[in-house]
Chain A
Amino acid sequence: MLLVPFDIDGQAYAIPARRVIEVVARVALRTLPGAPPAVLGAMDYRGRSVPVLDLARVVVDRPTPAQLSARIVIIEVEVTRGERVMMGLCVVGATDVISTDGARIERAGVNQPGAPYLGELVRGLASHPTLQLVDPDRLLPRALRMLFAGREGAA
């Protein structure tokens, strides 16, 4: 399995490469007035308007630092049963792809009701000793899922 790694507050996280549509540069965003602080704005991706989420806000409630390596990872998630929407995740350190060959995939051992998106841990990689997998479908809180669903429905 191939993973796309990134940093949040100094910790390494990763998303399975099969779930990633494309990694793009941090382009200028159109702000959405009245949106929650986790929603940075909307970007134009191949002719479609895609909302961009600040993942650091969602995970550790802190803004992503304005670094040169900041990029937007385009993914598709299920917001309601049967409805999937495209969205961007603003992260830093997404400059590589890592194969899980030779690594152990373990359960974290702790159920965290505040963070349902956290998946297994990948251990034993040369570049990253511990890599926390993130489940994109569980990443969004319910309020945001409704927000995006409504937006999608309105569209």
Chain B
Amino acid sequence: MRWFTRLSLSIKLSLLVAMCLAAFAGFAVKTKLTLDHLQVNGPVYQQIAQGKDVISDVLPPPEYIVESYLVVQLLLDETEPMKAVALVDRLRKLHQEYDQRHAVWVRELPEGELRQLMTVESYEPAVEFFRIAEGELVPAIQAGNRAAADAVVRGKLAPVYERQRAAVDKIVALATRLNSDNEKYAADEASSATTMMFVFGLAVIAIIVLMGWLANRIARSLTERMNTAVTVATQVAAGDLTATIASQGTDESARLLDAIGAMTRSLHSLVSRVKKSSIELMSTASELSATSMQQETAAHGFGASTTEIAAAIKEINATSQELTTTVDSVNKVAAGAADLAKIGQASLDDMDATMRQLGKATAAISGKLSVIREKAADIGAVVTTITKVADQTNLLSVNAAIEAEKAGEFGLGFLVLSREIRRLADQTAVATLDIDHMVKEMQGAVTSGVMEMDKFTEQVRQGVTSVAQVGTQLVEIVGQVQVMSDRFAVVNAGVRNQAAGARQINDAMINLQDSARQTSGALREFNSASEHLRNAVGGLRDEISHFKVN
């Protein structure tokens, strides 16, 4: 197959088309020959028809009752009884054959004129013939009545045979006509099929030629684009990235060309960027080298600074320890203040209870004073009553004296009595006056006492309120002192944390000093590494300059 791979694409496609054309032509010729061989009235058909004609010419036809008629004639002339029995058997066998054959035709023939002739017109006389032959002729022969048999044959069977004969003639004429029609139809069909085949073959040949032309076009366009791609790829391989490919279509080869173009463009931009980047990298490497040198100097300075910071941190540590001590002492003082405030609060609670008891006692005294005032009022009422009684007594004694005076000498004793009564009444009145005075004084005293008690109660109430306020304030003070104590604890913790932090910072500073020393060494190594980097970038730039870009 080496020779095939050497051929160009165009020649390969042309070969393919030619092979197709040859194969189709061979197929067409073979088909034509086979058709001619097998067609109606062709050689095969003629042989089959000849076979059928031979059979039909040799054999007596079962549908045509000519042999049965012959047997009837023979039976009429036969004189030997043995042979006559054999002939009757022959007749019965012929009847059976007729029935079998007729059943085949009834089953197979299509509806039409031929079926009508076969099943009705030729069938009815045959059936009539067999009925007469077996029903009338055979009994007459067996009875030996030759005259009756002869009359049956001549009178009945001969006309029936003639009717069947006429029907058979009609059938033959019709079958012959139908056969010739069929042959003509088959010849026409074969002729039109041959014509169609010729036209179809021409069309196929035309299509194959068109395919050949298209294949040639496809091969040509493919070759052109391949050549372009080859040119561009060769340029890229040489390092020329300036080649461009214009888009020419949307099929696979065009997309391949587009992809090659895109690849070239992206390669172009990549190489451009690499070139630019290598230049930038070069300057960066130089800067890096300079910066690392500066950093080395700075690391030295940094080491010195960390030493100073460590000293400052030590001072902070000492100060924070002093602060912790001070805060502790302040906290103790605050706790003492809180205890004192609590004691004061307890005393105030006692005082509050006492004040409340005092208030209750003054209220009780006020109540009792009110009772005394009411009693004094009662005494006043009694005194008034006594006074009224004394007055009445006085009045009575006065009138008694008057009546005694009027009575003259007889009233003298009565006069003395009335005077004594009057004197008693007067004394009573004076005593009641004194009592009244005393009661009034007592009432005044009680009233002022009640007022004083009221005032005192009010003062006690104010005292209780004040004590309650002082208690509330003490509670607030205790609360604030406790809060302060908590805050002091927070401050203390904070200061301790600070001290710990300062120690940690100190340790960190020592570590930092070591790190600065290490950094200094590392920077020296970094410096040499950046020098290597610069050299490497220079090599890269030289390599990149082989590529040709705009």
A-to-B contact residues, CB < 8 Å: 2, 4, 17-18, 20, 22-25, 68-69, 71, 94-97, 99
Check B394 against A17 for contact (C-beta < 8 Å): no
CA gap between A4 and B395 in the complex, in Å: 12
- State in angstroms the CA–CA spacing of A95 and B418 once bound together: 12
29 contacts between A and B (CB under 8 A): A2-B401, A2-B402, A2-B405, A4-B398, A17-B402, A17-B405, A17-B406, A18-B406, A20-B402, A22-B399, A22-B402, A23-B395, A23-B398, A23-B399, A25-B391, A25-B395, A68-B391, A69-B391, A94-B398, A95-B394, A95-B398, A95-B426, A96-B398, A96-B422, A97-B401, A97-B402, A97-B418, A97-B419, A97-B422
Q: How far is the CB of A2 from chain B (nearest CB, A)?
A: 4
Number of B residues near A (Cβ < 8 Å) is 16
B392-410 CB mask vs A (1 if < 8 Å, else 0) is: 1011001101100110000
Cα-based distance from A71 to B399 in the complex (angstroms): 12
Selected from A69, A94, A97, the residue in CB contact (under 8 A) with B405 is A97
Contacts of A4 in B (CB 8 A): 398, 402
Q: How far is the CB of B522 from chain A (nearest CB, A)?
A: 131
CA distance A18 to B402 in the complex (A): 7
A127 to chain B, nearest CB (A): 12
A-B contact sample (12 more), CB < 8 A, given A17-B406, A95-B398:
A2-B405, A17-B401, A17-B405, A18-B406, A22-B399, A23-B398, A24-B395, A25-B391, A25-B392, A71-B395, A94-B398, A97-B419
CB of A22, distance to nearest CB on chain B (Å): 6
CB proximity of A104 to chain B, nearest CB, Å? 20
- Could you say which residues of chain A place their CB within 8 Å of the CB of B426? 95
Q: Which residues of the partner chain B approach A99 to less than 8 Å between Cβ atoms?
A: 415
Return A34 CB to nearest CB of chain B, in Å.
32
* Measured CA separation A97–B395 after assembly (Å): 10
Pick from B391, B392, B398: contact of A97, CB below 8 A.
B398
Contact residues in B for A95 (Cβ distance below 8 Å): 394, 398, 422, 426
Residue of B nearest to A97 (CB): B401
Chain B residues in the interface with A (C-beta under 8 A): 387, 391-392, 394-395, 398-399, 401-402, 405-406, 415, 418-419, 422, 426
Q: Within the assembled complex, what's the spacing in Å between the Cα atoms of A13 and B422? A: 20
Question: Which residues of B have CB within 8 Å of A23?
Answer: 395, 398-399, 402
Task: Give CA–CA (A88, B152) in the complex, Å.
Answer: 207
Complex Cα–Cα for A20 and B405 (A): 10
Name the residue on B nearest A2 (C-beta): B405
Docked Cα-Cα span, A23 to B418, in Å, equals 14
Docked Cα-Cα span, A15 to B398, in Å, equals 13
Complex Cα distance, B419 from A106, in Å, reads 26
| Distance, CA A69 to CA B391, complexed state (A) | 8
Q: A75 CA to B406 CA in the complex, in Å?
A: 14
CA distance A22 to B395 in the complex (A): 9
Which A residue's beta carbon lies closest to that of B401? A97
Distance between Cα atoms of A17 and B403 in the complex (Å): 8
Q: A18–B406 Cα gap in the complex (Å)? A: 6
A62 to B352, CA, bound (A): 66
Residues on A with beta carbons closer than 8 Å to the beta carbon of B415 = 2, 99
In the complex, chain A residues whose CB is within 8 Å of the CB of B387: 68
Give min CB distance, A3 to chain B, whole Å.
Answer: 9
Report whether B395 and A18 are in contact in the complex, using a CB–CB cutoff of 8 Å: no
A71 to B397, CA, bound (A): 14
- B405: chain A residues at CB < 8 Å are 2, 17-18, 97
User: What B residues does A17 contact at CB under 8 A?
Assistant: 401-402, 405-406
A24 surroundings in chain B (CB, below 8 A): 395
Chain B residue contacts of A96, Cβ below 8 A:
398, 422
Q: A95 vs B395: C-alpha distance in the bound complex, in angstroms?
A: 7
The distance in angstroms between the C-alpha atoms of A24 and B395, with both chains bound, is 7
Most chain B beta-carbon contacts within 10 A, residue among A17, A18, A71: A17
Write the chain A residue with the least CB distance to B425: A95
Q: How far is the CB of B424 from chain A (nearest CB, A)?
A: 13
A10 vs chain B, min Cβ distance (A): 20
A95 CA to B398 CA, complexed, in Å: 7
Closest to B423 in A: A96
Report the minimal beta-carbon distance from A42 to chain B, rounded to whole angstroms. Answer: 21
A96 to B395, CA, bound (A): 8
Chain A residue contacts of B399, Cβ below 8 A: 22-23
Q: How far is the CB of B386 from chain A (nearest CB, A)?
A: 13
User: What residues of chain A lie closer than 8 Å to B395, measured between beta carbons?
Assistant: 23-25, 71
- Compute how far the CA of A94 lies from the CA of B398 in the bound complex, rounded to whole angstroms: 9
Q: Give the complex CA separation of A69 and B426 in angstroms.
A: 12
Nearest Cβ on chain B to A126's Cβ, whole angstroms:
13
**Complex formed: what's the CA distance from A84 to B478 in Å?**
102
The CA of A24 and the CA of B399, in the complex, are separated in Å by: 9
A17→B387 CA distance, assembly (Å): 25
User: Which residues from chain B contact A2 at a C-beta distance below 8 Å?
Assistant: 401-402, 405, 415
Docked pose: A2 CA to B406 CA in angstroms: 9
Complex CA–CA separation, A96 to B400 (angstroms): 11
Residues of B within 8 A of A25 (CB): 391-392, 395
CA distance A17 to B402 in the complex (A): 5
Q: In the complex, what distance in Å separates the CA atom of A68 from the CA atom of B398?
A: 16
Contacts of B392 in A (CB 8 A): 25
CA distance A2 to B404 in the complex (A): 10
Instruction: Tell me, in angstroms, the Cα distance from A22 to B419 when the chains sit together.
Output: 16
User: Chain B: which residue is nearest A99 at the CB level?
Assistant: B415
CB nearest neighbor in B for A24: B395
Once the chains are docked, how many angstroms separate the CA of A5 from the CA of B398? Answer: 11
Contacts of A20 in B (CB 8 A): 402
A17–B538 Cα gap in the complex (Å)? 170
Q: How far is the CA of A20 from the CA of B404 in the complex (A)?
A: 12
A28 and B200 CA atoms in complex are apart in Å by 169
**Alpha-carbon distance A104/B422, docked complex (angstroms):** 25
Chain A contacts of B406 at CB under 8 A? 17-18
Closest to A95 in B: B394
Q: Which residue of A lies closest to B397 (CB)?
A: A97
B residues in contact with A18, CB < 8 Å: 405-406
